[in-house]
Amino acid sequence: MISTRGRYALRLLTDLAEQDSDRYITLKEIAERQEISEKYLENIVKDLVRAGFLEGVRGKGGGYRLSRSAEELNVLEILQLMEGTLAPVACLEEGGKVCARAVNCRTLPLWKGLDEVVCRYLSAFTIRDLAGEGGSGFDYVI
């Protein structure tokens, strides 16, 4: 299950993609439009800046904007940053403990297939896709 942290990160990035990309947008503006706590967004923004999805400026005229074009911001990468892992079972987590039963596990192919489908599906979307054609005014719920 995708947490509110992952969903809100997508909403924040989509909101920025729909705005004038030349100016910095304040968290207050985003919080109001998205009806999300500004404090909660502050925590999300830190990770997005650190990972290179956003750039920020402090002070008057400050705020945040996308560090790359919306077409370059992949939904899978964003969710993996926010969620840590999207693996359906612990034995498929990157760097996870190898299960002693993996060799004889009848369900492992099922979980591997599910993991591949989820990753392939999410990697097919960018923030531009979520923002809608031309990034103009399409209502979305994530």
Buried b (16+ CB within 10 A) or exposed e, 102-136: eeeeeebeebeeebeeeeeebeeebbbbbbeeebe
Tell me, what's the pLDDT at 141?
Answer: 59
Tell me, what's the pLDDT at 136?
Answer: 44
CATH architecture observed for domain 4-85+127-135 = Orthogonal Bundle (1.10)
Tell me, what's the pLDDT at 71?
Answer: 96
Q: What is the pLDDT along the chain (142 residues), one digit of tens a residue?
A: 899 999 999 999 999 999 977 789 999 999 999 999 999 999 999 999 999 999 999 988 889 999 999 999 999 999 999 999 999 999 999 888 888 888 899 999 999 999 999 999 999 999 999 998 544 444 555 6
Taking the C-alpha atoms of residue 141 and residue 110, their distance in angstroms, rounded to an integer, is 30
Q: Where are the domains of the chain?
A: 4-85+127-135
Whether the model clears a pTM of 0.85, i.e. scores above it, the answer is yes
